[in-house]
Amino acid sequence: MLKILSFKKIILGIFVFLAVGSGFLLPSLKFSFDFSQFFPTGDDDLYFYEQFIKDFSTDDNFLLVGIENNSTVFEKDFLLRCKAFTEDAKTLPFVTGVNAITNLSYPLKTSFGYTKLPVLHINDSTRYEADWKKIQEDNLFIKSFVAKDAKSLAIFLETEDNLDYKQSIHLLDSTRSLLKKHQLDKTHLMGRTSFYEAMVDMQKRELLVTSAISIVLVLIVLFIIYKRTAIVFITLSSIFIALLIFLGTLAVLGKELSALAAFYPILMLIVGTSDVIHIFDNFLEKLKTGIEKKIAIVQSLKEVGLSTLLTSITTAIGFLSLLFSKLVGIRDFGVNSAIGVLIAYITVVFFTSALVLTFSNKRLLPKKNESLFWQKNLIKINSFTKTKPKQIIMVSILVTILCFYGLSLVNTNYTFKTTLPNKSKIADDFQFFQKNYSGFRTIEIAALAKDGYLVTDYEIAKEIEKVNQQLQATDNIDNIRSVNAIFKTFHKANNVNKREFYSLPKTEREFNSYKKDANRYAKQQLSKLIDSTKTKARIIANVLDIGTDSLVKTYAVIDNYVARNIDTTKVNFRVTGKGMLMDKNAAYIQGSLLQGLFMGLLLVGIIMAFLFKSYKLVFLSLIPNMLPLLFAGALLGFLKIPLDAPTSIVFAIVFGIAVDDTIHFLGKYKIATTKGLTKEEALKTTFLETGRALIITTLLLFFGFMVLLFSIHTPSLIIGLLISATLLTALLFDLLLLPVLIRKFM
């Protein structure tokens, strides 16, 4: 290492070059918010959906435009402006169709054939009252195109499938300009495109804000600890360069930054600074004894560098445990974070060590002798663990029991709204459609005809109607669309447009006559609901955002109804759609989380066995690292925080970082015992030489993750609180329980 550091200028030049090059790559970083990131890969329902959707458009290819009016929508000027917007919206980019109450009509069968009756006679305000009464009587457009209180309208823009970010922004900008042109001010937009815009904007904001606050935090903490601007400069330079290289690496690899990207700067700054503190503390102690600077840094790297390498590896393993998740977005976060941790370590070992050699001892060492504060209090903690072992073990057992109880309270009933930025326009728009319409979320049911039947056959139509009625009777589901709606509309049209005839005809002969009319006059509408072979049909409905567990129960109710009441020899029904796939994550989160952590513990155990060469130390090291994981899970239960995909990363972060303190503690203890010290002497030395660094780095981690309190993303805020609290718990177990276990079992 001494030979390598003799080329310090070359090392510094290489890292500066890589950092500058990475800076030029930053504009090419990709930000993404794709629902498919949260689909459980390898799942049978996902495979079915991917095959089923090939015959139809996706179920999120729309943009809802809600337009409010102060008193009522039944004002002529307002309706005329809405109608003009509806007509112009057909020319918007990527829009394939527009539906609104201003352009909808009732078909009516006359002696001359079918004619159309407008739902609203916009040009004749004297008919508004009768039109509204008819709309309420039919109940076909309430909460789909007009609010129940008649104070707002909803316009449905059908779009091309899977618009990318640039296309989404283009559509949204064009829509807003058109709304402004028609002087429609009180508006709400909701759809995949608006989510895409809001989430990417949030990701960029979070990345900048967390980076800035974290840098300030690290600067303050380092200055309080070392009171030397040179050390603060060295550390911040190292971490800033590591962060640039990391982001540049992600850009080169073509990685997309998801909503979890806000954690990257925090992880890089805090984990990197933790490495610096452990090495610096050892290095400065050697400088004080008069050891030459080059020799001191090499000795520090030999003594602490190995432990720091192992802590970096175990932290990376903690993140890599997320590879067992079935969610692509979570797996990517785990891999990216592991890469970042290792880049931070390499930068600290080479760049930081080389940079230290360019400063004089005078600028590195503190001006005054170090206070006895740390020495006195660390000795007190060590004495406490020696005199109160039974009490510490009893409290640990009690905490463990409480943690298991808290774990039993954990639920996965998270809502979609929690993923939205707090107090944002998108959150307000989401709530608007939740309150006044049938919500934004959709539920889709596939109808699959069997044994030569077609979904347009009368027998199958009756089975589809059973499912329609079940959905209509289910709470929080509304605005049901199926092929039967077209047949029922023609039945109503042939019976003077009376509401009671909005039903399937009672005879197959009558049904077949309407089917012919539908094939002639409603071919486009049919094509959106049945495939070309007429063996598949889709039923789409809106469902309120009532929570994942509640929705999973709703899906189960539908499945049970189909099993009991549908003739499955003729047709089968299956719940599908993007919403269902996202809700299904709950079934996988806990399983994949436990599997990943088990593998992580196994790998860490192997590393510790290699490091300590003592099965007792390996066993003892795992106990204080399992308890923080239980504590994190218990917090979720006691605080009634749903376990969702983003929150599941808490356990990987806690496990990966908490084990670092244990490795540093046991590593120093083992070095002390190999020098011939007794158990008590080794523990005292460990507390004095490692305790300070453990407490400082944990406090740095605590406040670092508390930075997420500034987040506008609720899951990130929750994760910050959970990790901060849990890491403090991990430190307490390491400083109090671990020495007791060493005394008892070693």
Closest-CA residue to 227 (of 359, 369, 345): 369
pLDDT (average), residues 145-157: 93
Alpha helices of 613-648 — where are they, by DSSP H? 615-638
Average pLDDT of the segment spanning 558-570: 92
- Listed by start position, the domains of the chain span 60-196, 228-370, 371-408+584-746, 425-581
- pLDDT of 321 above 80: no
Q: How confident is the model at residue 176 (pLDDT cuts 50, 70, 90)?
A: very high
Q: What is the mean pLDDT of residues 600-616?
A: 70
Angle, alpha carbons 1-241-251 (nearest 5°): 115
Percentage of the chain beyond pLDDT 90 is 28
Q: Please provide the average confidence, as pLDDT, over all residues in the chain.
A: 84
Q: Residue 460 in contact with residue 448, Cβ under 8 Å?
A: no
**pLDDT: which is higher, 107 or 612:** 107
Residue count of the chain = 746
- What integer is the mean pLDDT of 561-565? 93
Is 371-408+584-746 assigned to CATH 3.10.20.30?
no
Given this model, what pLDDT does residue 69 score? 92
Same fold, 60-196 and 425-581: yes
The lowest-confidence range among 128-137, 209-218, 500-509, 540-549 is 209-218
Give per-residue pLDDT as tens, 50-91. 888 888 877 788 899 999 998 899 999 999 999 999 999 999
The amino acid at residue 377 is N
Pick 307 or 587 by higher pLDDT: 307
Calculate what percentage of the chain has a pLDDT beyond 70: 93
Overall average pLDDT of the 551-574 stretch: 92
Asked if pLDDT for residue 571 goes beyond 90, the answer is yes
8 A C-beta contact, residue 297 and residue 5 = yes
**Distance from the Cα of residue 567 to its chain's centroid:** 40
Angle between helices 263-288 and 229-252 (to 10 degrees): 140
Residue 168 · residue 93 · CB < 8 Å: no
Residues 80 and 72: their CA atoms lie apart, in Å, by 14
Whole-prediction pTM: 0.79
For 403, counting Cβ atoms within 10 Å of its Cβ (0-12 exposed, 13-18 middle, 19+ buried), the class is buried
The pLDDT value given to residue 186 = 93
Residue 1 has pLDDT above 60, yes or no: no
CA 335/CA 462 separation, integer angstroms: 51
Could you tell me the sign of the dihedral formed by the alpha carbons of 40, 45, 48, 54, in that order? negative
pLDDT at position 574 = 93
What mean pLDDT is predicted for residues 188-201? Answer: 88
Q: What is the pLDDT of residues 338-359, one digit of tens each?
A: 888 889 888 888 888 888 888 8
Confidence of residue 654 (pLDDT cuts 50, 70, 90): confident
* Burial bucket for residue 157 (CB in 10 Å: 0-12, 13-18, 19+): buried
pLDDT at position 592 is 61
Higher pLDDT: 649 or 437? It is 437
Do the Cβ atoms of 245 and 343 come closer than 8 Å?
Answer: yes
CB neighbour class for 465 (10 Å; exposed up to 12, middle 13-18, buried from 19): middle
What is the DSSP pairing of strand 30-31 with strand 256-257?
parallel
Cβ atoms within 10 Å of 28's Cβ, excluding its own: 11
Q: Pick the closest to residue 109 from 510, 458, 418, 474 (CA basis).
A: 510
What contacts 390, CB < 8 A, 6 or more positions away? none
Q: What is the pLDDT of residue 593?
A: 63
Q: What is the pLDDT of residues 688-728, one digit of tens each?
A: 888 887 888 788 778 778 887 888 878 888 888 888 888 88
| 163 in Cβ contact with 171 (< 8 Å) | yes
Q: Which residue has the higher pLDDT, 249 or 608?
A: 249
- The β-bridge relationship of strands 571-576 and 477-481 is unpaired
**pLDDT score of 444:** 92
223 token code pair: 């200055």
Instruction: Please tell me which of 24-28, 175-179, 597-601, 666-670 the model is most confident about, judged by mean pLDDT.
Output: 175-179
| Residue 415 scores a pLDDT above 90 | no
Does the structural domain 60-196 have CATH classification 3.30.70?
Answer: yes
Superfamily designation of domain 425-581 = Multidrug efflux transporter AcrB pore domain (3.30.70.1430)
What is the CA 534 to chain-centroid distance, rounded? 38
> Cα dihedral sign for 730, 736, 742, 745?
negative
